[in-house]
Amino acid sequence: MASAVEGNEEDITELPGVGSATAKKLRKNGFGDLLSIAVSTVGQLSDAGGVSESKSRKIIRVAREKLDMGFKSGAEILEERKEVEKISLGCSHIDNMMDGGFETGSITECFGEYGSGKTQLALKLAVGAQRDYEDSTVVYIDTESTFRPERVKQFAKGEGLEPDDILENIKVARAYNTDHQMLLAEKVEDIIDQGDDVKLVIVDSLTAHFRAEFVGRGTLAKRQQKLNQHMHTLALLADKHNLCVYVTNQVQTKPDQFFGDPTEAIGGNIVGHASTYRIYLRRGRKGTRVAKLIDSPNLPDDECVFMITTEGIEDA
């Protein structure tokens, strides 16, 4: 939601100890406004601005005071929630399950086995965002080389939209490792600062590089810490700029589960807690797919059946 707190537009050079040189370093590292500074840690700000921890602590404290980051009433939160927007997938079964579409200001995680339709939903959502919000921009962080412009053109034609215009407004970057992936997420701020109306950020897939680079139990803590930092960046983007973040996730099989579905998402509680909505995709009968909403702060658990066709995502 534009939960950018009132006063966030104030120049960061107004903060104590932040001169032009320090401000330049902070902006370069993604701390260009009061909100990003106020929610940072002392260590993050110290590294980004090249200042001491004591000075970082003072900068953060003053930034928080300027933004009045205290408690709000439930009525105030309800009023802010009116700014939330929805991106329709164009499939009524899924849209109804999501109470009208995929919500801005939050992260939606979609996980499932290969071929379950995670990327297809991502590409269709990229078209849907531009159908619902004219002249909007979509950012697509591609970690597994799954972005296909030909498929986007098919979806655009199915919506009666001009394919070349749709493709022109999708900014795609291939991430080659976890550091590069995290850097690209941080660079979304630069795209927004240049004047683009970013309505949707897609990360496909979220955990592929993390899974490949951190192998074995000995690296688990480091992997989760890094993944947590990445999710924090995405969550801040969603909240600060009232945009939708859609991430796809891989799965694994729990070897100790003998009854029920043993499939679980990669990333554990870090990804689970950071995601506002979680959707489990699996193959159904006769070429269908099943989408199951398994976690939401305001919607009941639900599931629906859909089909992936040449021109779109359709009700089954």
**Residues 63 and 91 grouped into a single domain:** no
Residues 189 and 258 in one domain: yes
Q: Indicate if 191 and 226 belong to the same structural domain.
A: yes
Global pTM? 0.87
Token duo for residue 296: 């939401």
Residues 103, 311: Cα–Cα separation, whole Å: 23
Q: Are residues 286 and 153 in the same domain?
A: yes
Q: What's the CA gap between 80 and 188, in Å, rounded?
A: 24
Number of compact structural domains in the chain? 2
Give me the residues paired with residue 112 across strands: 281
pLDDT score at 4:
44
Q: 236 with 176, same domain?
A: yes
Asked, for residue 91, whether it belongs to a domain, the answer is: yes
One domain for residues 47 and 142:
no
The pLDDT tens digits of the residues spanning 210-258 come to: 999 999 889 999 999 999 999 999 999 999 999 999 999 999 877 666 6
In a domain, residue 76? The reply is no
Write out the residue range of the structural domain in which residue 45 sits.
12-67
H-state helical runs in the chain: 20-28, 34-38, 42-49, 53-67, 74-80, 92-97, 118-132, 149-158, 163-168, 178-193, 208-213, 220-241, 268-274
Buried b (16+ CB within 10 A) or exposed e, 208-239: bbbbeebeeeeeeeebbebbbebbbbbbbbbb
**Rounded Cα gap, residues 279 and 177, in angstroms:** 25
Cα 44 to Cα 40: distance, rounded to the nearest angstrom: 6
The predicted-structure confidence for 183-198, as pLDDT tens digits, reads as follows 999 999 999 999 999 9
Q: Domain of 24: which CATH number?
A: 1.10.150.20
